[in-house]
Amino acid sequence: MVLELYLDLLSQPCRAIYIFAKKNGIPFQMHTVELREGEHLSDAFAQVNPMKKVPAMKDDDFTLSESVAILLYLTHKYKVPDHWYPRELQARARVDEYLAWQHTALRRSCLRALWQKMMIPVFLGEQVPSETLTATLAELDVNLQVLEDKFLQDKAFLIGPRISLADLVAVTEVMHPVGGGCPVFEGRPKLAAWYHRVEAAVGKDLFREAHEVILKAKDSPPADLISKQKLMPRVLAMIQ
Amino acid sequence: MGLELYLDLMSQPCRAVYIFAKKNDIPFQLRTIDLLKGQHYTDDFAQVNPLRKVPALKDGDFILAESVAILLYLSRKYKVPDHWYPQDLQARARVDEYLSWQHTALRSCCTRAMWQKMMFPKYLEQPVPPEILASTLAELDRCLQMLEDKFLRNQAFLTGSHISVADLVAITELMHPVSAGCKIFESRPKLAAWRQRVEAAVGENLFQEAHAVVLKVKDMPPLMDPTLKEKLKLSVQSLLH
ipTM (interface predicted TM):
0.96
Residues A55 and A166 in one domain: no
pLDDT digits (tens, 9 = 90+) for B202-211: 999 999 999 9
Strands B29-32 and B3-7 come out as parallel
The yes-or-no verdict on residue A35 having pLDDT over 90 is: yes
Cβ-contact A66, B101 below 8 angstroms? yes
What pTM did the predictor assign? Answer: 0.97
* Domain ranges across chain B: 3-82, 89-240
CB interface of A with B, residues 89-128, below 8 Å = 89-90, 92-94, 96-97, 99-101, 103-104, 108
The yes-or-no verdict on residue A120 having pLDDT over 80 is: yes
Residues A133 and A224 in one domain: yes
Residues A198 and A103 in one domain: yes
pLDDT at A173: 97
3-state secondary structure (DSSP) of residue A136: helix
The yes-or-no verdict on residue B94 having pLDDT over 80 is: yes
Last residue of a domain, one of A51, A80, A109: A80
8-state DSSP, B160: B
pLDDT digits (tens, 9 = 90+) for B99-141: 999 999 999 999 999 999 999 999 999 999 999 999 999 999 9
Mean pLDDT of A137-158: 97
pLDDT at A239: 78
pLDDT digits (tens, 9 = 90+) for B15-55: 999 999 999 999 999 999 999 999 999 999 999 999 999 99
Residues A216 and A101 in one domain: yes
Residues A184 and A227 in one domain: yes
CB interface of B with A, residues 60-89, below 8 Å = 62, 64-69, 72-73, 76-77, 89
Residues A96 and A150 in one domain: yes
For the domain spanning B3-82, the CATH number is 3.40.30.10
User: In chain A, how many domains are there?
Assistant: 2
Residues A92 and A195 in one domain: yes
**CB nearest to A66's CB, from B50, B64, B101:** B101
Last residue of a domain, one of A30, A56, A80: A80
Q: Give dist(CA B143, CA A52) in Å, integer.
A: 14
For the domain spanning B89-240, the CATH number is 1.20.1050.10
The yes-or-no verdict on residue B56 having pLDDT over 90 is: yes
CATH of residue A201's domain is: 1.20.1050.10
Is A146 at the interface with chain B, CB within 8 A?
yes
Dmax (CA) for chain A in angstroms is 52
Beta strands per DSSP E along chain B = 3-7, 29-32, 56-59, 62-65
CATH of residue A22's domain is: 3.40.30.10
Residues A190 and A155 in one domain: yes
Last residue of a domain, one of A49, A80, A111: A80
Range of the domain at A180: 84-239
Nearest CA in chain A to B92: A73
Could you count the other beta carbons within 10 Å of the beta carbon of residue A176?
29
Mean pLDDT of A46-67: 95
Residues A130 and A75 in one domain: no
Cβ-contact B113, B177 below 8 angstroms? yes
Contact B62 A90 (CB under 8 A): yes
Nearest CA in chain A to B79: A89
What phi and psi, each to the nearest 5 degrees, are found at residue A153? 50, -130
Residues A21 and A140 in one domain: no
What phi and psi, each to the nearest 5 degrees, are found at residue B95? -65, -45
